[in-house]
């Protein structure tokens, strides 16, 4: 599996607000960064017993993961799409568990998964980030 398939695993992501000039790759990166940042803050709130702030940040992180999951392109024929879909589902379920049980170790687990995914995403070469033209089946 090449890097091009990884970049193609996501559909075109629409931009809003201050990110209108970002490309699809940049927007996915920004979503991952936003989720990681919120998890780090949520962990601090969890440790300090600040339930409402913790819950709000974890909920927002679940929303971001849902956006990442929803941006996957099921038309791309690669095992990466269902694998990422399953990973995002797993992370969302783990975050619900962490919130309900005040378990910072689970937040650390999901943060680590997102960080690994983000680092891999950032390593995709520039030329592989552009959508690949559809190949003529004839």
β-bridge mates for residue 10, sequence order: 72
Determine, yes or no, domain membership for 5.
Answer: no
Is 113 in contact with 92 (CB distance < 8 Å)?
Answer: no
* Cα three-residue angle 77-29-35, rounded to 5 degrees: 110
Assigned domain for 18 exists: no
Domain assignment present for residue 94? The answer is yes
What pLDDT, on the 0 to 100 scale, is given for residue 12? 46
Rounded percentage of the chain residues whose pLDDT exceeds 90: 62
The pLDDT, as a whole number, for residue 14 is 45
How does pLDDT run across 113-128, given as a tens digit for each residue? 999 999 998 888 777 6
The predicted structure's pLDDT at residue 4 = 42
Question: Which structural domain, as residue segments, surrounds residue 102?
Answer: 23-123
The pLDDT assigned to 136 comes to: 53
The separation between the first and the last C-alpha atoms of the chain, rounded to the nearest angstrom, is 23
Average pLDDT over residues 99-111: 97
**Domains contained in the chain, number:** 1
Is residue 132 assigned to a domain?
A: no
pLDDT band at 76 (very low <50, low <70, confident <90, very high): confident
CB 73 within 8 A of CB 8: yes
- Is 16 a member of any domain? no
| 75-83, long-range: CB < 8 A, 24+ apart | 76/5, 76/8, 76/9, 78/1, 78/5, 78/8, 78/9, 79/1, 80/1, 80/5, 80/6, 80/9, 81/9
What global pTM score does this model have? 0.77
**Residue 14 counted as domain residue:** no
- Mean residue pLDDT of the chain comes to 83
Question: What CATH number did the domain enclosing 80 receive?
Answer: 1.20.120.340
40 domain residue, yes or no: yes
9 occurs within a structural domain: no
């Amino acid at each position: 599996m090449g890097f091009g398939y990884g970049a193609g695993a996501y559909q075109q992501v629409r931009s809003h607000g201050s990110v209108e000039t970002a490309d699809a790759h940049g927007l996915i990166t920004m979503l991952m960064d936003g989720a990681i940042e919120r998890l780090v803050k949520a962990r601090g709130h969890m440790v300090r017993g600040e339930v409402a702030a913790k819950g709000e940040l974890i909920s927002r992180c679940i929303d971001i993961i849902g956006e990442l999951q929803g941006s996957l392109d099921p038309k791309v024929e690669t095992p990466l799409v269902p694998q990422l879909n399953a990973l995002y589902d797993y992370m969302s379920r783990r975050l619900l568990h962490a919130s309900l049980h005040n378990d910072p170790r689970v937040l650390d687990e999901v943060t680590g998964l997102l960080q690994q995914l983000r680092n891999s995403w950032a390593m995709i070469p520039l030329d592989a980030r552009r959508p690949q033209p559809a190949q003529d089946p004839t």
